Structure 1
Amino acid sequence: MPSRSQEGRSATGGVPRHAFREQDAVWAELLAMGEAVVGSLEKSVQAVCEGRIDLIAEVKEEEEETDRREVQIEQECLRILALFEPVASDLRRMATVLKVNRDWERIADLALRVARRVRKLGRKFPDIVAPDSLKELARAVHAHVRASYVALAEIDAAKAREVIAGDQAIDESYRAVRRQLKEQLAAHADQLDGWLLLLNSARNLERVADHATGIAQTVVFLQEGTIIRHTPQG
């Protein structure tokens, strides 16, 4: 989406300059929130891959901060829509804020769920270790989310489409992990709850990837004005 100077947009559209400043401010807050969520997810992945349960308290604090930010950003975005009635690319940007704001909040929530299950597994089933396939899935999901953040920050539809294309590989990895964990579950029925914790973690990681893909689809809409959800390319 090509950028225009605040002065130029004000001169051509008759919209107060401060309206564009406020749009820019809420956009910057969305990006800051996204960057924080990517960092929080990284800590959750470290908990899965390295047993860093010491990071779980930080993930929880950051999830609570994300909840606060989500409400604040939504309220500010709705205020801008009501007061200034943006059109064209500015309206798309505000619609993007509302959509992606929710996606970041859900990713933060799922990251906390994954981290908490790591802690519960360690406390109740210390003999069960996350398989390498689950660790690889966790790292792949984190890379997927980070890539969606970069596409959003740069408003780059080409990079966003790469994220969308990469979702299939995440899904395939998830299905492989799920099969492996179900086999372990059947072989170790006495530790049913422990393997279910890992199975649930894998599912939550796959859902994180879905939200990252949703962010990428929204970036395409932002730059091109095209909704590609539920289409062959989306």
Structure 2
Amino acid sequence: MASSRSQEGRAATGGVPRHAFREQDAVWAELLALGQTVIGSLDKSVQAVCDGRIDLVSEVKEEEEETDRKEVRIEQECLRVLALFEPVASDLRRMATILKVNRDWERIADLALRVARRVRKLGRKFPELAPPDSLKDLARDVLVHVKASYVALVEIDSTKAREVIIGDQVIDESYRAVRRQLKDQLAARADQLDGWLLLLNSARNLERIADHATGIAQTVVFLQEGTIIRHSDPA
């Protein structure tokens, strides 16, 4: 009788056990929850840049450590599902997406912590130097960019994902403008070299966060369309 029920369950799902789909859904839900946590951490980091909220750095640190643990657990669960159920077609693409995006979220959390720490160090060692408005605008734009990639992922919407990919060009232009401004200021006030370098490094880390968000968007296109678009025209 148990064997008969198992066969019926497989037949109703195209030969795949029903619990296989449940386990895939569970790992997917964990990935989306991780994304929410990382966005919250990045938001705190942006507050540190824009509002001087260095009191939030410790929270960013705690969340980064929790992200590391979740990233490992999600990868382990994903590999277990792949080994046990050998998914194919769209199910296999979803598992591949989880592995890729899982790593992107972990890197965003790590970079958000680096940004927050550098702002704290700047405030302690160079209190007379403050992040310029252009850097604050970049930080806010990067946060919006990451949130947009998350929405595309949740909705598995390749159209929204392509908008994120195109938007990365704007982030890159803003980063280059911030870098030029900071280098000019560095040349004029070389006595505070280390402080300007902290700001430059923060700008670079923000740009790298945007790159990971763009990578998430590219993976969403792969998930929905089965097309790998890295190094190609997103349109």
- Alignment TM-score, normalising by the size of structure 2: 0.95
| 5+ residue gaps, structure 2 | 1-7
Aligned amino acid, residue 93 of structure 1? R
1:107 has 2:108 as partner: yes
Distance 1:9 1:98, change over 3 A: farther
Q: Which residue of 2 aligns with 1:175?
A: 176
Percent of pairs with identical residues: 85
Query: 8 Å contact 1:217–1:227 — kept in the other structure?
Result: yes
Residue number in structure 1 paired with 2:35: 34
The aligned residue for residue 228 of structure 2 is 227
Residues 9 and 15 in structure 1, CA contact (< 8 A), matched pair in contact too: yes
Task: List aligned pairs for 1:10-49, cutoff 5 A.
Answer: 11-49=12-50
- Closer/same/farther in 2, CA of residues 194 and 164 from structure 1, 3 Å limit: same
Tell me how far 1:64 sits from its aligned partner: 0.3
* 2:67 match: 66
Q: Is the 8 A contact 1:10 1:17 kept in 2?
A: no
Q: Runs ≥4 in structure 1, deviation > 2 angstroms?
A: 7-10
CA shift, 1:12, in A, is 4.2
Q: CA deviation at 1:13?
A: 1.8
Counterpart-to-counterpart distance in 1, 2:188 and 2:197: 13
Taking structure 1 as the reference length, the TM-score comes to 0.95
- C-alpha deviation, 1:161, in angstroms: 0.5
Map of 2:167 onto structure 1: 166
Name the CA distance, whole Å, in 2 between partners of 1:143 and 1:9.
43
Shift of 1:8: 8.9
Q: What amino acid is aligned across from residue 153 of structure 2 in structure 1?
A: L
- Which position in structure 2 is the counterpart of 1:136? 137
The structural deviation recorded for 1:230 is 0.7
Matching of residue 187 in structure 1 with residue 205 in structure 2: no
Measured in 2, the distance between the counterparts of 1:228 and 1:158 equals 13
Q: Structure 1 residue 117: deviation in Å?
A: 0.2
Larger Rg: 2
Structure 1, unpaired ranges of 5+: 1-6
Code of the aligned partner of 1:160: A
Q: CA RMSD in A?
A: 1.3
CA deviation vs aligned residue, 1:177-231 (integer Å, no higher than 9, x gap): 0000000111111100000000000000000000000000000000000000011
Question: Residue 157 of structure 1: CA displacement?
Answer: 0.5
Residue 122 in structure 1 maps to residue 123 in structure 2: yes
**What displacement does 1:11 show?**
1.4
Matched, 1:153 2:150: no
Instruction: Give the aligned partner of residue 82 of structure 2.
Output: 81
